[in-house]
Amino acid sequence: MTFIWMHMLWLLLLVPLLIGLYVLLLRRRKRTAVRYANLAMIRQAMGRGPGWRRHVPPALLLIAITVLILAVARPAAVMTLASSRATIILAMDVSGSMRAGDVPPSRIEAAQTAAKQFIDDQPAGVQVGIVAFAAAAYLVQAPTIDREALFQAIDRFQTRRGTAVGAGVLTSLATIFPEENFEALQSDFGPDAPIVPKPPSRSLDDQPAAGDKPPHVAVAPGSYQNAVVILLTDGGTTTGPDPVQAGQTAADYGVRVFTVGFGSPSGDVVAVEGSAWRTQPDLETLRTIATTTNAQFFEAKSSDDLKQVYQSLSAKLISEKKLTEISFIFAGIGALFAILAGCLSMLWFGRVA
């Protein structure tokens, strides 16, 4: 625990002063009583004294003052609270391999069911957007809090040829930052061409043309707190931009990309337009993307595994640790001690003193 207004703790010096004042008042009262000639007669007339009870209300009041001084100093502690992230982008693979039946009833149906449950578990104020990718990536549902619209978007999934994991990442980023231009990065990759084109370098003497937007300044990976991406795929990239470079772009924008490799370890053979393909997720690439963006990689070998992954992600994204001011707790405790001191004084002595 820490204090936002640390200098206000100097007020705690009043506590020993109040204790000294109380002791001084007791001694003064005792000296006044000594002035009487016959103390025995006075004690007999007054009956049994209050004893230790007379010290209880002042002690409680002193505790109340101490706690209220701490409240004035604005105490703060690291607490787990509802996340401030406003948007979650679900980037889901809809390539033909998602028709594989190694995860019954099929990979695509299991993924749809788990995604719906994940959406249903989110707080009402969290927006969710959905990106589907195969040979290209598409925003099928803009971020919204309308759960029914999200469910309908998931139900409309249709499998297609190809797997462009990098395009899924970049389209998710374009959804989070609509003012940015990620189209230059959406190039097909090949063995003889650069995977992600970079902007031409400029010398220090070059002046940007009128209307040119200054280049993005990279931030710390994972530092963007308003959105995250959850990417699920069951295969390796076959087209589109390099997924590792796309992950680096996400890291430069501070966006965390949680990756999920879906499917049985041995994969499955899927017939696509007369050809048979064995599909297995590229776990190493997915792990690299997650590490680069300061996120986490998950492997889901079954529908139950996938549900547990989404549940784990839900817990991570719904809550986060923050330094939170807790002055109200101290103020409430101080008020309770003050009220208790007053009540006991009225009960035992018939007055608040």
Q: pLDDT under 50 in the chain at which residues?
A: 47, 189-204
My answer on whether 40 and 150 are in the same domain is: no
In this structure, the answer to whether residues 98 and 71 fall within a common structural domain is no
Residue 192 lies in a domain: no
* Whole-prediction pTM: 0.65
Q: What is the pLDDT of residues 300-320, one digit of tens each?
A: 988 899 999 998 888 777 556
Kindly report the CATH number assigned to the domain that includes residue 277. Answer: 3.40.50.410
161: nearest Cα among 54, 270, 255: 270
Q: Which pLDDT score, from 0 to 100, does residue 210 have?
A: 52
Are 245 and 281 found together in one domain?
A: yes
Q: Is residue 131 part of a domain?
A: yes
State which residues form the domain around 38. 2-77+326-349
Q: What is the pLDDT of residue 284?
A: 93
For residues 260 and 144, membership in a common domain is answered with: yes
Cβ atoms of 3 and 9 within 8 Å: the answer is: yes
Residue 107 shares a structural domain with residue 72: no
Contact 133, 168 (CB under 8 A): yes
Question: How confident is the model at residue 1, as a pLDDT?
Answer: 82
> What is residue 11's DSSP assignment?
G
Q: Give yes or no: residues 150 and 106 share one domain.
A: yes
pLDDT in tens, 11-31: 899 888 988 888 888 787 766
User: Nearest CA to 162 among 143, 196, 189?
Assistant: 189
Number of domains in the chain: 2
Contact assessment for residue 167 and residue 240, using Cβ atoms and an 8 Å cutoff: yes
Are 32 and 161 part of one and the same domain? no
Retrieve residue 144's tokens. Answer: 């919204």
Closest residue by Cα to residue 314 from 26, 119, 70: 119
DSSP per-residue letters across 134-165 = SSSEEEEEEEES-HHHHHHHHHT---BS---H
Domain co-membership, 246 together with 289: yes
Cα 174 to the center of its chain, rounded Å: 22
**Do 43 and 173 reside in the same domain of the chain?**
no
Work out the end-to-end distance of the chain between its first and last CA atoms, rounded to an integer number of angstroms.
Answer: 34
Cα separation of 304 and 260, whole Å? Answer: 13
Please indicate, yes or no, whether residues 166 and 54 belong to a single structural domain of this protein. Answer: no
At residue 303, the pLDDT reads: 87
One domain for residues 162 and 128 = yes
